Structure 1
Amino acid sequence: MTRPVKRITSKDVARAAGVSQTTVSFVLNKRAGHAIPEETQRRVLEAARRLDYRPHASARSLAAGRSDIVLLSVPDLPIGSSISRFVEQLAAALADHGLTLVTHLAGAHGRPLPDVCASVGATAVLGLGAFDADTVQTLYRAGADVVLPTEAEDAEAMRPIGRLQAEHLIGRGHRRLGYALPGHRALLPMARERLAGVADACAEAGLAPPFVADTTLDVAVAAEAVAAWRREDATGVCAFNDETAIAVLAGMREHGLTAPGDIAVVGVDDTPAAPLVAPPLTSVAFDLREVARRRAVSLAAALAGEQRDVVPEGELPLEARVVRRASA
């Protein structure tokens, strides 16, 4: 049986370097205001490297005044390619600021988010959507210094997506629009903000509000939604995301309808499947790397006690753009 290897501590590094633990702490944590001779610093760093020393999280947090853990709350919804890519980009962007991303899956039926926040000592908590006011306060009591996004920030990010969808359809001559809500309840808050963007664009163009229908990945349900839009004379549909848009296309086929001749369809996310469906799906795409970078910059600024706009004035929050294909 292999004997467990003992964890290397700062005491081991101090002994190997011939200095005190306090000196090791000053050197490894780069504490300002302490004149440590360069030769001493060299010995400490060499000893730490040779022993493969890694500071314990609690000790590192104590030295820094906070942890480097950022907890990302992923709601109870299917994790598609867009969410997976965003998590990867966010982890990389946070690493550039010396922060480590840990994810919490709300649908895993494990411990509540505030409990996990306290357990891992998260210095910040991020959500894919806005947290309600009670949850925000509970997370602060659990030890988080920063909780993002606020409801205002979430709306600021979501509405331009719906606006882009609607403006594209209106620009191509459609005067009556529909909106396809997703079937998953966890997505509804985000969907309603995107819907508000569609409604804003319709109002500015002097059009009636979009006719809203629920759409799931069940073809029969999607076909019912299509029938409702036809009764309302809708000729263009903004779907919550690409999956919902693909369901709309399937529902149209049940009625012998085609896009864009009968109903034009626009999705969101520009997923890998978008160009592969028939007809290829027009979709709103955004630069996930830039989204992640901005979120990391905003978070790092908040942790430093600074106020920094996530989005420069006049720019779309998500660097969003319409990728035109045959469906619209």
Structure 2
Amino acid sequence: MDGGGEGRVADQKKGKRRITSVDVAREAGLSRATVSFVLNDTPGQSIPEATRQRVLQAAARLGYTPYAPARTLRSGRSDVVLFVLPDWPQGPTMAELVDRAAQVLAGAGLTLVTHVHTGRDDDLARLWTALAPAAVFGMRPFTAGERAGMKRANIAAVLPSPEQSGHDVGSTLWLNGVGRLQAQYLIGKGHTRLAYVLPDDPRLSALGQGRAEGAAQACAEAGLPVPIVATIPLDAAAAAETVAGWRRPPGAVCAYNDEVALALLAGMRKLGTSLPVIGADDIPAARFAVPPLTTVAQDSGELGARIAAALLRALNGEPSQLDVLPDAGIRVVERESA
């Protein structure tokens, strides 16, 4: 190798050109074929360890990184795992799930990309073409058309799998289980007439309905009437108007999430009244509410790790069934509001 390596490194750092395997071969003083075998970890090649280290050290000095599109062309897929999320407001619970899944996948050399799917048929087709993902996970089951598009794009690892077509992680973790536990907690405190208060965001209508249904199921099992259902914006005055409009006030209230619960607490303060309230999600502000908010917390990070592990099993050709029980990782955090 000539003595101009340091000068070339400085020149290349100043420029905009991508460092290629040709540059690494020149820096290492080896053939392009040898360098390519090492950088691509090509199987079936007998490369001496000293030569391999020489290539890797040269690559490190130059700041070489593999060119993702070229790698995708060679392998037929990228190192990307795609999470397709529903058009929900992406709060801390979802963020924790995605962050934990990303950590697990990164440990396997994969990069997690999220996409919020608004329901347009061509959105996902464009994603398959642009990303050529190694695996895809859907928070809700994919339609037959979406699944056909993934098959045409040769995406082998998909969750939920066809045999899990009725499986809906969103329903399982974020819907009935939360509402049921909220109602069961209040019933256990002796409350016999409940209300369920939902947000007025149309994107959350299905989630809200599912949580209210979970609370209704718990009431039916306890021989109690169906909860009163109301919808409010995140506004103290509107919440106060809703509470004041109840002809027969409930004994306690389940709120769709902590933000709705905080609006309810603020509205009741305006009225000079109070009712026990339980929220959901255990956002940081919940502990600072007046009074501090009793809420349902969810171990969404653990779910994210389980989803990532199932995708890795699928990529390895192993059984990848994702089992998520309705009450998995869901618990009540008791504070003073209920």
Unaligned runs of 5+ in 2: 1-12
Q: Within the alignment, does 1:101 sit opposite 2:108 as a pair?
A: no
Deviations, residues 130-160 of structure 1 (Å, cap 9, x unaligned): 1551573365155644444565232222332
**In structure 2, how many angstroms separate the alpha carbons of the residues matched to 1:197 and 1:210?**
11
Indicate yes or no: 2:191 matched with 1:191.
Answer: no
2:177–2:326 Cα contact (<8 Å) kept: no
Residue of structure 1 in register with 2:167 after alignment: 152
Q: Identity, % of aligned pairs?
A: 46
- The one of 44, 55, 60 aligned to 2:71: 60
Residue 199 of structure 2 is aligned to residue 207 of structure 1: no
Q: Secondary structure at the match of 2:196?
A: strand
- For the structure 1 residues 204 and 31, does the alpha-carbon distance in structure 2 shift closer, same or farther, using more than 3 Å as the test? farther
Q: Distance in 2 between matches of 1:195 and 1:307?
A: 34
Structural mapping, 1:129-144, within 5 Å: 129-133=139-143, 136-137=146-147, 140=150, 141=152, 144=155
Q: 1:292 to 1:15 in 2, by over 3 A?
A: same
CA distance in 2, matches of 1:131, 1:223: 38
Computing the radius of gyration from Cα coordinates, the structure with the larger value is 2
- Check 1:225–1:114 CA distance in 2 against 1; reply closer, same or farther (3 A cut): farther
Give SS of 1:70's match: strand
Question: Which structure is richer in relative contact order (CA contacts within 8 A, separation 6 or more)?
Answer: 2
Say whether residues 1:289 and 2:305 are aligned partners. Answer: no
Structure 1 position 281, deviation (Å) = 0.7
Count matched residues.
317
Match of 2:47 among 16, 26, 36: 36
Quick one: distance in 2 between partners of 1:9 and 1:200? 62
Asked if the contact 1:67–1:123 (Cα under 8 Å) also holds between the matched residues in 2, the reply is yes
Distance 1:135 1:212, change over 3 A: farther
RMSD: 3.2
Question: Structure 2: how far apart are the matches of 1:138 and 1:224?
Answer: 49
1:233-253 Cα offsets, whole Å, 9 max, x none, are 532222221111112223333
Q: Is the CA contact 1:117–1:143 (under 8 Å) kept in the aligned structure 2?
A: no
Cα 1:227–1:97, aligned 2, differ >3 Å: closer, same or farther? farther
Counterpart position of 2:236: 219
Give the drift of 1:172.
0.8
TM-score w.r.t. the length of structure 2 is: 0.79
SS at match of 1:298: helix
Q: CA deviation at 1:56?
A: 0.8
Question: Which secondary structure does the structure 2 equivalent of 1:48 belong to?
Answer: helix
